[in-house]
Amino acid sequence: MGQLCKVLIVDDEMLIRQGIMNYIDWESEGFQIIGESSNGEEALMLIEKHHPHIVITDIVMPVMNGKELVKVIKRDYPNVEVIVLSSFENFEYVHSAFQDGVVDYILKPKLTGEELLQSLHKAVRKIPDVDFCKKSYKVVPSTSETIRKVVKGYESSEAITDTMFSFSNFCFLMMYSSDHELPSRNKVISFLNKHVPSYQLEEIIREEGELSYLLNVDSSDLESIRDYVHQLSIKFLENREHVQLFLHQPFSSFKYINEEYEKAKGNLQQYSFYLPDQPLFLYDELPQDNNQTLELDRNKLMELYKHHQFEEATFYLLDYVDHLSQKYQLRVHDFKSILGNQMFNIIVTLGSMSFNTEALERDKYSLFATLNDARNIKEALPPFYQFLEYTQDIVLPKNQKKEHSNMVKLLEYVGKHYSEPLGLTELAEHFHFNPSYLSAYFSTHHEEGFNEYLNKVRIKKACELLENSDKTISTISQEVGYSDHSYFSKVFKKIKGVSPSHFRRDISS
């Protein structure tokens, strides 16, 4: 029996590498992936160690790009065949790579299992005197690829068969990251191995900040899966990785896989939007909606505006939006639509009252766009609050505006109470503001966020104490409002550029 043809994958994009690995059933086609790397230098070390027959490489990579890698391979490892991955804009690179001896190239946007196999077989025919396993050229989709097609609606659940799975229960494990930084499959598996004795893991979706796995486990291991997800969430927090985890309700038949995936994806979208700072969502411990029912009386709101009761109208609207913010089952699109509709209605009402709404009319499209593009509620609320600020500028004559006096009071209060546990919630309660609105109000009228300003006040006072007293740094950190000494030092260095001890040495020298 012939040997497997060894293949190395080189690309600085992890998603591309993972995609290639899942496009075909490698061993059944006579191939074996012996490694993957993110640049040419790493690839050369793997080539020396594992002696692959074929290298699939990207062109544009850091450290050593694909063009340089091809030259070294053809010089030092002439029997290794190379397939180049390329984007449309890299045509000139591809042309020169052929001159260096590559056997074929594949356009990334058109990369499919069939396309990949054709290039691999083309490379195999160029390798002399090696008895490879001869397999059919027919592409056999992997289990992950089949499931992916089913959950995306390209195929029916009948494409999934009993032979694809070893255990009786299924559950979706989903991950979301607003900054699109998601863990590698190897990291997930290495951690999973510590908690679950036996399982099958299929990667279904990896795109735009979303990563979805289908876990196939025995019923006796369902509790172990819960423990694994909980521990993984803790691990992300310890590493300061902002990844939200969602474990969907287990189900026992893959016939419902499409339906269960849609439920899981819907829940992930809802909870990650309304609770962007919550790291973990377990199917039987999901946050509950606000049970109160609060309907917005549009006639009442418009009457408040028409009677020039602008402050009352604003706070009536803010209370309603706060209520909506805790309705986690309210569709994200509906939430944004409600905010957008209120903005539109207010503009119409103010215009009918002969106020000059020209600035609002001009800026509303930008505010609407920001609202529509918001990934979570922390991004959706500021344009709405900013809109309310704009309305205050329009409806209140300059001699009646309270912004300046309100901001002076806020700053004075921070100056007197900086050493206490102080946050937006405490400040809002003291001045009878809405906390979220206060955050936007502070940033708008002081050109920096509340926390940034509070830190500057505290560090300024700390500098005075470091210069004029012999108190320990730990004592000073407590006196200016920091309970965590290490956090105080971190903030101090960020603002002043040096550590507290270095600062004290500099002023005493």
Per residue in 153-211, pLDDT tens? 767 777 788 778 888 899 999 999 877 778 887 788 888 888 888 888 888 887 778 88
CATH number, domain of 238, equals 3.30.70
Residue found by looking up tokens 């000073």 in the block: 476
CA 33 to chain centre: 29
Task: Provide the pLDDT confidence category of residue 90 given band limits of 50, 70 and 90.
Answer: low
Tally the domains of the chain: 4
- 179 and 267 co-located in one domain: yes
- 170 and 277 co-located in one domain: yes
- 97 and 206 co-located in one domain: no
Q: With respect to residue 208, please indicate whether it lies within any of the assigned structural domains.
A: yes
CB-hemisphere CA count at 13 Å for 91? 2
- 346 and 234 co-located in one domain: no
Mean pLDDT of the chain: 83
Q: With respect to residue 97, please indicate whether it lies within any of the assigned structural domains.
A: yes
| Domain encompassing residue 497 | 454-508
The Cα-based distances of 315 to 301, 322, 474 in angstroms read: 10, 10, 42
- 97 and 191 co-located in one domain: no
- 215 and 336 co-located in one domain: no
Q: With respect to residue 135, please indicate whether it lies within any of the assigned structural domains.
A: no
Q: How would you class 307 by CB atoms within 10 Å of its CB: exposed for 0-12, middle for 13-18, buried for 19 or more?
A: exposed
Q: With respect to residue 37, please indicate whether it lies within any of the assigned structural domains.
A: yes
- 11 and 45 co-located in one domain: yes
* pLDDT, tens digit (0-9, with 9 covering 90-100), for 211-240: 899 999 999 999 999 999 999 898 888 877
Q: Alpha-carbon Rg of the chain, whole angstroms?
A: 30
- 278 and 147 co-located in one domain: yes
- 154 and 248 co-located in one domain: yes
- 155 and 220 co-located in one domain: yes
Verdict on whether the full-model pTM lies above 0.85: no
* pLDDT, tens digit (0-9, with 9 covering 90-100), for 47-84: 988 889 999 988 888 888 888 888 899 888 888 899 98
Which of 344-369 are b and which e, b meaning 16 or more Cβ less than 10 Å from the residue's Cβ?
A: eebbebbeeeeeebeebeeebeebbe
Q: With respect to residue 416, please indicate whether it lies within any of the assigned structural domains.
A: no
